[in-house]
Amino acid sequence: MTEERKRNLKRSWLKFGSNPLSVLGLVSVLLVVFLAVFSPWVAPHPESWAKWVDFKNALLAPSWDHPFGTDVFGRDILSRVFFGFRYDLLMAVSILVLVVPLGTVIGLIAGYYRGSLLDTVIMRITDIFLAIPSIVLALAICAMLEPTLFNSMMAVSVLWWPWYTRLAYGIASSLKNEYFVQAAELTGASTPHILFREILPNCISPIFTKMTLDVGWVILIGSTLSFVGLGAQEPIPALGTMVAAGTKYMPDYWWMTIFPAIAIAFTILGFNLLGDGLRDLLAVEEI
C-alpha cells in the first residue's frame, strides 16, 4: 500500500473515531455480525435454535444459566437470539445483494439517458413503488404469497430496488454533462464503459453508505413482517417471530418478548449509527 493511501486511511479512521456514536455503531455491528457468524459455537445452548423441547426447563426467568430465560418449549432465548441475528442478517444481505446491483444499473441507465422515453418510463415505475409506505406494500405482497422467510425476502426486494434507482439516477443525470463524461463520449468509449467506469465510481460512496443504513431498515421491515406472521415461521428463530410468539405470554413471562425486541432495536441502532458515521466520513450529501 502506498504511503499516501496509508495516510488517507489513518486520517479517515481518526475522523471516524472522533464521533463516539459512530464508533459505538461500528462496535455494535461487529458484535452482531460476530454473533451471527459464530452462533453455533458461541451460543451457550446451541441446540435451542430449532426443534428442541425440554419442558423441565420451560419458562424459566433470566438466570446465570439462561441469561435471557427460556421459552415455552424450554429453549434458551439467548442462544435463539444469537441464531436470530443469523437469519435477520442473512435476510438483509440477500436482499441487498440482489437489489443494489439491479437498482443501481437501472438508475444509471435512466439517468444517463435522461429526458428520453426510457427515463420517463423507468421513473414512473419507481414512483409506483414509492407511492405507498413500504410496510403496507410489503404486507400486501407477503399476504398474497405463502408466509415463508424466502417469500418475505422476495417481497422486500421487489419494493426496495427503486431507492437505489433514484440514487443512481440523481448522480448519473447530474454527471452526464460533466467534461470527463463528454470526453469519454468524444473518444468513442462504449456506453457500458461510460456507465460503469466513468459514472459508477462516483456513486460508490453514497451507495455504500445507503447500503449500511439499509441493513437496519431491511431488518426493521423484515422483523415487522415476521412479527405479524407473514415472514419466517416457527421454529426458525427470526427475531420478529420470537417477539410475536412471546406476546401471548405477556406480562408474566416478559423475557420471551422483551429480549428479542431489544436485540432487534440494538441491531438496527448499530447499523444506523454506523451508516451515519460513514455518511459523515465520506461526506455524502445525496442521502
Please tell me whether residue 140 binds other proteins under the rule CB under 8 A. Answer: yes
* The binder of other proteins chosen from 93, 200, 228, 287 (CB under 8 A): 228
* The binder of other proteins chosen from 9, 50, 53, 136 (CB under 8 A): 136
CA torsion 141-144-147-149 (nearest 10°) is -30
List binders of other proteins among 238-257 (CB under 8 A).
240, 243, 247, 250-251, 254, 257
The span of 1-9, 30-38, 46-54, 258-266 binding other proteins (CB under 8 A) equals 258-266
Number of residues that bind other proteins (CB under 8 A): 42
Q: Which is nearer to other proteins, 137 or 181 (CB)?
A: 137
The span of 38-46, 66-74, 89-97, 128-136 binding other proteins (CB under 8 A) equals 128-136
Copy the grid coordinates of residue 44. Answer: 451457550
Please tell me whether residue 124 binds other proteins under the rule CB under 8 A. Answer: yes
Integer CA distances (angstroms), 61 to 50, 96, 163, 260, in order: 20, 37, 43, 15
- Return the closest-CA partner of residue 259 out of 34, 228, 219, 250: 250
Please tell me whether residue 106 binds other proteins under the rule CB under 8 A. Answer: no
Distance CA 270, CA 266 (A): 6
List binders of other proteins among 51-90 (CB under 8 A).
none
Show the site string, 267-286: x = touches other proteins by CB under 8 A, - = not.
Answer: -xx--xx-------------
The span of 34-42, 68-76, 94-102, 131-139 binding other proteins (CB under 8 A) equals 131-139
- Residue ranges binding other proteins (CB under 8 A): 21, 124-125, 127-128, 131-137, 139-145, 216, 220, 223-224, 227-230, 240, 243, 247, 250-251, 254, 257-258, 261, 264-265, 268-269, 272-273
